[in-house]
Chain A
Amino acid sequence: MATIRIPPVLRPSVGGEREINADGDNVGEILRAVAVDHPGTESQLFGADGELNRYVNVYLNDEDVRVLDGLDTTVSTADTLVILPAMAGGAR
């Protein structure tokens, strides 16, 4: 099973975990498995069209999956998926 790193804003939807594991042969399968296991993440990850929301970046190890094969990018069990939504905290 691949490892998925969960950003702070999604942790409440996965029981507070910072890393979870999910089955799947590609990015899309794994993220949909995450959405099935943790329904609170579905609308945050996917738009109504089933595509990844544009404000969420997903990296296979250190590479943006959008420059690979997107949701079809092959993932091996040794890989880590990093989910990265924009954060704006700072000044106040």
Chain B
Amino acid sequence: MSPSGAEVLRQIKDRIEEVDPGAVREQLDSGVLVIDVRQDDEWATGHIPGAHHVPKSHLESRIEGVAPDKSQRVVLYCASGQRSAWAARTLIEDLGYESVESMTGGFTLWKDRGYQVDVPRFMSAEQRDRYSRHLLLNEVGIEGQQKLLDAKVLLLGAGGLGSPAALYLAAAGVGTIGIVDDDTVDLSNLQRQVIHNSERVGVAKVDSAEATINALNPDVKVEKHQLRLGPDNIMDILPNYDIVVDGLDNFPTRYLVNDASVRLRIPVVSAAILGFDGQLSVFKPYEGPCYRCLFPVPPPAELAPSCGANGVIGVLPGTMGLLQATEVIKLILDVGNPLIGRLLMYDALAATATEVKVRRDPHCAICSRDPDEISDEELGVFPDYEAFCAGAH
């Protein structure tokens, strides 16, 4: 006669190691790999902080993605300590793991003892479907997608650079997108400003951008700032955001944004375009240089023509705006090697990208100072701001 399930479980528990929740709790920070083998809906109600989730039903196929080193110490848990015992037997006897323990009493006992629990944020079935290609990436996953949904990104301009950046950030699920633009859609914009369309000529760009974003992804909240950014309003707007995307068409505002972002320690993903050429860099205050470290003074007007006067190939802001969006997403997810302390020059005609180093200037007028030393009275009246305004067009 075959043994009963309960008898088999007793036999398994005799063969595997078990560990008390108290011991697991004490060792959470010591590199032990804790794996929750419960089902998705159980995981969603809460789990041990720092635990990985590999449902028992997918154990064999997914375990190596989480625990590639079979000699690493692994602690498994479920709700009560039964499924994790079965899973531990599988890891040891079928898959060759060398150091596997099952947590006695499971998550139920963990909670009963009042130990800390992480409750994952709820993601709807529609969101899981919408972001499924993100969820499959180790660099994003549910936690990363949640970071994107929680992120607040301010776009300075819904123009050439802002259009593609806004579209892809919205598609990626960046939860709050602020847009500063006081302009209306003009027919001459549509060669490159792809967030607008022919029916919206004459409509405020913030309204046009909002309509496109809402149609693309209802998860995104659009904050419209239909104004021209200046020293009088910048401190009302910037503090509400995590990252600023700068695609501004004039130097005074670029310097103003730099100074305020350093004061607030908000990273700025900055791009500029002209003709067939683009520049891109990330200015993360106090980790890398700021815009003034790179360009302490603006060029005279004749050396700083705007796109309107000189023309720009329509695809270029697409390329540069998407590189900006990519850097924004990397900053939000804290993955990869962001373009901090480096400036990328893209030459579309030559199809080349050149990179140069950008150093922090120890004598920088702004970022050599502690931001807390800058008094409220100085905000918006940054050193030599008036001179920049007078010097640039």
Contact = CB atoms under 8 A, between A and B. Distances in A.
B221 interface: no
Contact of A86 (B181, B298, B356, B357): B298
B308 A92 contact: yes
Contact of A91 (B248, B304, B349): B248
Contacts of B357: 59, 62-64
Nearest to A87: B272
Interface stretch (B14-22, B123-131, B141-149, B158-166): B158-166
A85 B97 CA distance: 59
Interface in A72-92: 82, 84-92
A55 B307 contact: no
Given A5-B354, A54-B297, A63-B357, A92 B306 contact: yes
B150 interface: no
B223 interface: no
Interface stretch (B65-73, B101-109, B169-177, B273-281): B273-281
B314 interface: no
A62 B355 contact: yes
A92 B295 contact: no
Contacts of B295: 55, 57, 86
Contacts of B358: 64
B200 interface: no
Contacts of B139: none
B356 A91 contact: no
Given A7-B277, A8-B274, A8-B277, A89 B306 contact: yes
Given A9-B304, A54-B296, A88 B251 contact: yes
Nearest to A9: B303
Interface residues of B, number: 53
A63 B15 CA distance: 63
8 contacts: A8-B310, A62-B355, A88-B251, A88-B254, A88-B298, A88-B306, A89-B312, A92-B306
Contacts of A48: none
A91 B189 CA distance: 10
B298 A55 contact: yes
Nearest to A82: B356
Nearest to B316: A89
Given A8-B277, A55-B298, A91 B157 contact: yes
Contacts of B157: 90-92
A18 B299 contact: no
Contact of B359 (A5, A67, A85, A86): A67
Contacts of B271: 90
A9 B274 contact: yes
B305 interface: yes
B356 A84 contact: yes
A44 interface: yes
Contacts, number: 119
Given A18-B347, A64-B357, A91 B299 contact: no
Interface of A: 5, 7-9, 18, 44, 53-57, 59, 62-64, 67, 82, 84-92
Contacts of B249: 88-92
B151 interface: no
Contact of A18 (B274, B279, B307, B350): B350
Contacts of A8: 274-277, 310
Given A9-B299, A57-B356, A92-B307, 6 more contacts: A64-B357, A64-B359, A88-B251, A88-B272, A89-B306, A92-B160
Interface in B229-255: 246-251, 254
Nearest to A55: B299
Contacts of A84: 279, 343, 345, 356
A9 B183 CA distance: 26
Contacts of B160: 90-92
A89 B350 contact: no
Interface in B162-211: 162, 181, 183, 189
B156 interface: yes
A67 B271 CA distance: 24
A86 B392 CA distance: 12
A21 B235 CA distance: 47
A1 to B, nearest CB: 19
B162 A91 contact: yes
Contacts of B159: 90-92
B356 A87 contact: no
A81 to B, nearest CB: 11
